Amino acid sequence: MARTRDESSPLFAGNAAGTLRLIIYLALAMVLMVLDQRNGWLWRLRYGASAVVEPVYRLAGLPAVGVRTMSVAFADRQRLTEQNQRLREDLLLANAKLNRMAAVAEQNQRLKELLDTQHSLELNVQLARVIGVDLGAYRYQLTLNVGGRDGVKPGQPVIDAHGVMGQVKEVLPTTAVVMLITDPAHAIPVVIERSGLRTVAYGSRDGDQLALPNIPLAADVRAGDKLLTSGLGGRFPPGFPVGEIVSVAPAATGMFQVAQARPAADLDRSEDVLLLHDQAEPDGPPAPVKPMGPPSDLAPVTGVAPAASSGTRPAATPATSGVPR
Amino acid sequence: MNKQRLSLWWFIGTLVFALVSMLVPLPAVLEPFKPYWPALVLLYWSLESEDRVTLGLAFMVGLGADLLNGVVLGEQALRLCALVFIALRFRSRLRFFPMWQQALAVLALLLNDRILLLIVRVLAGGTLPPASWWISPFVGAALWPFLFLLLDDLRARLRIQ
């Protein structure tokens, strides 16, 4: 701003030039915002500037790391012992469950081979650590300490020990930003475990709950029902816990029921998370089945390949759900 | 010469510190209470050292903050420009206000800033924030006297202007 120090009345220092400058800068900022909103420049710029941005993230994450280290260093022995005991019990329980599951999983595998499907129960995961950085978007995001150099790609699902946390939104060389399932701009296709009803869970404005705004009035939904990923939309693999319904009420319009759900994952306490590497099947209808039958040169002229349409199944619903709206 | 360089580094250092503090997370309970540090530090410098703080500087600091935050490029640049413009316009009067009046003025500036942010976010298709989102300007205004005295004291101790 052009300062006019020798002006007779310094109490009114601003002048027309200052206002003009302000207008120019504001206009510039608005142009930038519109261009960024349209083209997503910021992330390309951030990728370029990652040499500066990422050390700053690590620096800003230091206090959180320090607090964590201090809480371990100064925790009293008894609490650590208790925690250790609890973890041991959990491990024992989990191992026992796993042993029982192993037989079932094998049986499942065999049955699936018989049915000739390609779903597998194995998980291909990558461990990642949360960096404590506040990106200012009302806490709907997490920053992870792995990035493009570790093979992370946008759209990868992120889970913790209890359930689905979200999906990778943007990737920098050594960090990645995760969009949580509680983000109002996020939707995840779910199935209610008890009744098998398929619906979509959106993030909510309060930031710690999920909203299911369009459940049919006749549907059987109760508080306490568990939500699993349905696998529709091709973004999240099926069968992961998403949350638990806490309340159901008729919508204001009277056309649907509205449910609120609590996320299963520890969205604000998790320090270590898992990135799923095997993406679900690609979107769209399955590839057309090859017509079986005699080779075309041997077939009678009037004959139609008999099995041309027998193997196709109805296409999955359009894949708009599951990706950021 | 050395003194000048020191004071320049001190100026840059406080701004960088403000940007990093913006990124440092607080426990979830305290989260809504986090003040908007870059605005507070820029306000201090625009009151105390008018030659250094210009609209261009505010714009650049805002762009840097946007780059770090990754929300929308230009959002904080716009907010900080508006803030610094008002502060510079009323600088001569703000400087001689008693501290409580100054804190009230800072509150008004920060509230104005939040309203600008709200307009930008709603126009960009965002949702309305929860009510606790409005606490932050009050915390910023309450912290203002302490921040002002602390920075002034440090500046006096380092004997820089």
The residue of chain B with its CA nearest to that of A49 is B67
Whether residue B20 contacts residue A133, with contact meaning beta carbons closer than 8 Å, is answered with no
Q: Pick A305 or A155 by higher pLDDT.
A: A155
B18-37 pLDDT tens trace: 988 888 877 767 777 888 89
Which parts of chain B sit beneath pLDDT 70? 1, 28, 161
Residue A275 has pLDDT above 80, yes or no: yes
Residue of B55, B62, B73 with shortest CB distance to A42: B73
Identify the pLDDT of residue A310: 43
One-letter amino acid at A108 equals N
Q: How confident is the model at residue A279, as a pLDDT?
A: 56
Say if the Cβ atoms of B70 and A21 lie within 8 Å.
Answer: no
Residues A1, B54: C-beta atoms closer than 8 Å: yes
User: What is the tally of structural domains in chain B?
Assistant: 1
CB contact under 8 A, B59 and A207: no
Q: How many CB pairs under 8 A join A and B?
A: 128
- Of the candidates A36, A45, A59, the beta carbon closest to that of B20 is on A59
Rounded CA-CA distance A51/A45 in Å is: 11
Q: Indicate if ipTM > 0.85.
A: no
A119 falls in which pLDDT band (50, 70, 90)? low
- Non-local CB neighbours of B78 within 8 Å, separated by 6+ positions: A25, A26, A29, A30, A33, B62, B116, B120
What pLDDT is recorded for position B54? 85
Q: Which of A140, A134, A148 is nearest to A166 (CA)?
A: A140
User: What is the CATH T-level fold of the domain A187-266, as seen in this structure?
Assistant: Thrombin, subunit H (2.40.10)
CA-nearest residue to A267 within chain B is B28
Residue B127 belongs to domain spanning = 2-24+34-158
pLDDT of residue A308 exceeding 50, the answer is no
Averaged pLDDT, A178-182: 88
Average pLDDT of every residue of chain A: 77
The predicted structure's pLDDT at residue A303 = 46
C-alpha atoms less than 13 angstroms from C-alpha of B155 in its C-beta half-sphere: 20
Quote the pTM value. 0.70
Tokens 């997370």 -> residue: B25
B139 in a structural domain: yes
Q: What is the dihedral of CA A30, A35, A40, A43, to 10 degrees?
A: -60
Q: How confident is the model at residue A290 (pLDDT cuts 50, 70, 90)?
A: low
Domain ranges of chain A: 15-48, 63-121, 187-266
For residue A188, the tally of other CB atoms under 10 A from its CB is 27
Q: Averaged over A205-216, what is the pLDDT? A: 83
Residue A313 has pLDDT above 50, yes or no: no
With a CB cutoff of 8 Å and minimum separation 6, the contacts of A70 are none
Nearest to A289 by CA among A70, A37, A149, A116: A116
- What is the CB neighbour count within 10 angstroms for residue B42? 23
Instruction: Report whether pLDDT(A304) > 50.
Output: no
Token digits of residue B157: 């101790």
Give a yes or no: residue B64 inside a domain: yes
Sequence-distant (6+) residues with CB within 8 A of B81 are A22, A25, A26, A29, B55, B58, B59, B62
pLDDT at position A88: 92
Taking the CA of residue A19 and the nearest CA in chain B, the distance in Å comes to 8
Give the rounded distance of the alpha carbon of A137 from its chain centre.
Answer: 15
Residue ranges in A75-171 assigned as alpha helix (H):
77-115
Report CB contact under 8 Å: A1, B75.
no
Query: Considering only CA atoms, which of A164, A191, A189 is closest in space to residue A179?
Result: A164
Q: Which amino acid, residue A209?
A: Q
**pLDDT of res. A121:** 56
Using CA atoms, how far apart are residues B157 and B161, in angstroms rounded to an integer?
A: 10
Indicate whether B29 belongs to any domain. no
User: Is-contact A197 A173, C-beta < 8 A?
Assistant: no
pLDDT (tens digit per residue) in A12-30? 555 566 788 888 999 998 8
What distance, in Å, lies between the first and last C-alpha atoms of chain B? 13
What is the residue whose two structure tokens read 């780059």?
B67
CA-CA-CA-CA torsion sign (A258, A264, A266, A271): negative
Between chains, do A138 and B69 touch, taking CB under 8 Å as contact? no
Identify the pLDDT of residue B108. Answer: 93
pLDDT for residue A284: 54
